[in-house]
């Protein structure tokens, strides 16, 4: 994956997780909890893309493609996916309790 695309993917994952976490902790309506749950479900997939792509980030220098591996960013991806899964589980349980 090209470096600029990876940076966009990582930034979107971080911002989206922050928004989902904020929604999950501040709203009490069923609709708000549903939005946070749906958002965290999508972000889990996005974080999985970050994890996989962290091991093949391609940069171009003088016409040559150079592949880099960033296990540290994959670790951040695992933590982000964990947070998204926790938000998803908490929201799902709250929605089940509301019914």
Confidence of residue 95 (pLDDT cuts 50, 70, 90): confident
Q: Quick: pLDDT tens for 63-88.
A: 888 888 989 999 999 999 999 999 99
Closest CA to 40 of 23, 60, 64: 23
Whether 15 has a pLDDT exceeding 80, the answer reads yes
Q: What is the pLDDT of residue 58?
A: 84
* CA gap 33, 78 in Å, rounded: 23
Q: What is the pLDDT of residue 98?
A: 74
**SS3 of the chain: helix, strand, coil, percent, to 5:** 75, 10, 10
Q: Say what the pLDDT of residue 56 is.
A: 87
Residue 56 to residues 41, 63, 80, 85, Cα–Cα distance (Å)? 24, 18, 19, 24
Region 1-14: mean pLDDT is 89
The model carries a pTM of 0.83
């Amino acid at each position: 994956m090209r470096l600029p695309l990876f940076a966009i993917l990582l930034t979107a994952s971080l911002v989206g997780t922050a928004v989902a976490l904020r929604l999950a902790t501040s709203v009490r309506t069923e609709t708000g909890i549903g939005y946070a749950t749906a958002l965290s479900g999508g972000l889990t997939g996005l974080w999985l893309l970050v994890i996989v792509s962290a091991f093949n980030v391609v940069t171009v220098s003088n016409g040559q493609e150079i592949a880099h591996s960033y296990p540290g960013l994959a670790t951040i991806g695992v933590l982000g996916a964990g947070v998204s899964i926790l938000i998803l589980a908490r929201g799902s349980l709250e929605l089940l309790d509301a019914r």
